[in-house]
């Protein structure tokens, strides 16, 4: 139970009575795990007391044993929720689904690994009739994957996806201006405010955006691998290869003049810099672009995400979803909405 997990339990406590009353769905927690300890029981756990309960557990965390127990208890109508970013947990998805247990997860690892693994899990979910859902993989609680699913299910064909998918990079380029502080200062401030990962290169390198556009492309029906998405890096090699975050900032400081020229020339043309992922014709590109005032990405503010879908039906003007696409609160809410949706299906 980490940041998203604890927010989710908080939201379950706050809403369980209303959900039972208005939707007839009773949410029961039978198991919990963090990276150190775990707890699983045939009886419902008290969500209001989850932290001390888990802390006092004598059982060390072991994902293999946790799933063994879930299968043993033969829980009907149960949902496995992976609120981690771990690469280990997704290795068990197949076994979970195969035992008729649904999955809801914001963890992008399984969906952004090899296409065969992604499609294998989708097929297994279909074969077993067990929901496998991951709306919060992209843009947290914003309705993106379900929207793509509805378009594809109803026979539409996606011709092009354009998206701003990194709230932290958005925040940085919404703050950076021709007459303001240096780029390295803006990045450092965003890190201090908690908008970036502890190592800001995880955001600025585009690797996370690549995972997201890859998942959207696959949802849109493309058999595509990570290598089909090209990243035009914002950072130079010296920055990318720096051994520590401290060294990274030293290298970024040496490159400030390049960022200064980019933003100055963009502003001269009344344009703004945006870190855009696009997918079209089987290929994806992620790059920093200067967009003009009439471009949909121009007016983005704060750390907003924006997803623009062009399709056979949405051809003259696209379907657009926009809003805060990160944060434990909106991600947990997205997972809770998904759990309720799954409960209606199982």
Rule CB under 8 A: say whether 151 interacts with a second copy. Answer: yes
Rule CB under 8 A: say whether 330 interacts with a second copy. Answer: yes
Rule CB under 8 A: say whether 17 interacts with a second copy. Answer: no
Of 160, 212, 268, 289, the catalytic one is 212
Rule CB under 8 A: say whether 302 interacts with a second copy. Answer: yes
| From candidates 43, 52, 58, 153, binder to a second copy by CB under 8 A | 153
| SS3 assignment, position 341 | helix
- Residue of 133, 74, 72, 73 lying closest to 102 (CA atoms): 133
Judge contact between 143 and 149, C-beta under 8 A: no
* CB atoms inside a 10 Å sphere around CB 315: 11
Question: Whole-number minimum distance, CB 45 to a second copy, in Å?
Answer: 20
Quote the CA–CA distance of 142 and 139 in Å, as a whole number: 6
| From candidates 47, 120, 253, 318, binder to a second copy by CB under 8 A | 318
- Residue of 273, 233, 239, 276 lying closest to 255 (CA atoms): 239
Q: How many residues bind a second copy (CB under 8 A)?
A: 49
Q: CB under 8 A: which stretch of 41-49, 142-150, 157-165, 275-283 binds a second copy?
A: 142-150
Asked if 20 is an active-site residue, the reply is no
Strand-pair category, 229-231 with 283-291? parallel
Rule CB under 8 A: say whether 272 interacts with a second copy. Answer: no
Rule CB under 8 A: say whether 192 interacts with a second copy. Answer: no
| From candidates 163, 220, 276, 336, binder to a second copy by CB under 8 A | 336
Start-to-end CA span in the chain (Å): 25
| From candidates 47, 120, 253, 296, binder to a second copy by CB under 8 A | 296
Rule CB under 8 A: say whether 124 interacts with a second copy. Answer: no
Q: CB under 8 A: which stretch of 34-42, 234-242, 271-279, 335-343 binds a second copy?
A: 335-343
| Ordered DSSP codes for 105-130 | ----HHHHS-HHHHHHHHHHHHHHT-
Quote the CA–CA distance of 234 and 294 in Å, as a whole number: 24
Rule CB under 8 A: say whether 162 interacts with a second copy. Answer: no
Instruction: Name the DSSP letter for residue 60.
Output: B
Judge contact between 204 and 287, C-beta under 8 A: no
Quote the CA–CA distance of 274 and 301 in Å, as a whole number: 11
Catalytic residues: 212
Q: Which residues bind a second copy (CB under 8 A)?
A: 11, 14-15, 18-19, 22-24, 126, 129, 141-143, 146-147, 150-151, 153-156, 293-294, 296, 299, 301-302, 304, 313-314, 316-324, 329-330, 333-334, 336-337, 340-341, 344-345
């Amino acid at each position: 139970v980490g940041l998203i997990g604890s927010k989710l339990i908080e939201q379950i406590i706050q809403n369980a009575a209303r959900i039972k009353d208005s939707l007839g769905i009773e949410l029961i927690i039978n198991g919990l795990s963090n990276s150190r300890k775990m707890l699983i029981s045939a009886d419902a756990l008290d969500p209001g007391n989850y932290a001390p309960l888990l802390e006092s557990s004598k059982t060390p965390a072991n994902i293999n044993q946790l799933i063994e127990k879930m299968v043993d208890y033969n829980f009907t109508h149960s949902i496995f929720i992976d609120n981690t970013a771990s690469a280990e947990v997704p290795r068990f998805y197949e076994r979970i689904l195969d035992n008729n247990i649904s999955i809801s997860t914001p963890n992008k690892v399984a969906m952004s690994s090899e296409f065969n693994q992604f499609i294998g899990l989708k097929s297994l979910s279909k074969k077993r009739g067990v929901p496998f859902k991951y709306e919060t993989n992209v843009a947290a609680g914003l309705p993106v994957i379900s929207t793509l699913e509805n378009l594809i299910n109803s026979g539409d064909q996606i011709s092009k996806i354009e998206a701003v998918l990194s709230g932290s990079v958005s925040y940085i380029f919404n703050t950076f201006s021709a007459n303001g502080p240096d780029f390295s200062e803006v990045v450092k401030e965003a890190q201090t405010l908690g908008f970036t990962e502890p190592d800001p290169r995880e955001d600025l390198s585009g690797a996370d955006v690549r995972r997201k556009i890859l998942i959207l492309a696959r949802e849109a029906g493309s058999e595509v691998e990570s290598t089909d998405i090209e990243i035009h890096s914002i950072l130079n090699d010296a920055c990318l290869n720096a051994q520590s975050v401290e060294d990274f900032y030293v290298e970024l400081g040496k490159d400030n003049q390049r960022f200064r020229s980019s933003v100055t020339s963009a502003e001269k043309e009344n344009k703004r810099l945006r870190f855009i992922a696009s997918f079209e014709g089987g290929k994806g590109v992620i790059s920093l672009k200067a967009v003009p005032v009439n471009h949909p990405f121009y007016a983005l503010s704060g750390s907003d995400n924006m997803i623009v879908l062009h399709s056979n039906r949405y051809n003259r003007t696209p379907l657009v979803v926009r809003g805060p696409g990160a944060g434990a609160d909106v991600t947990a809410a997205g997972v809770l909405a998904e759990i309720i949706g799954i409960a209606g299906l199982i």
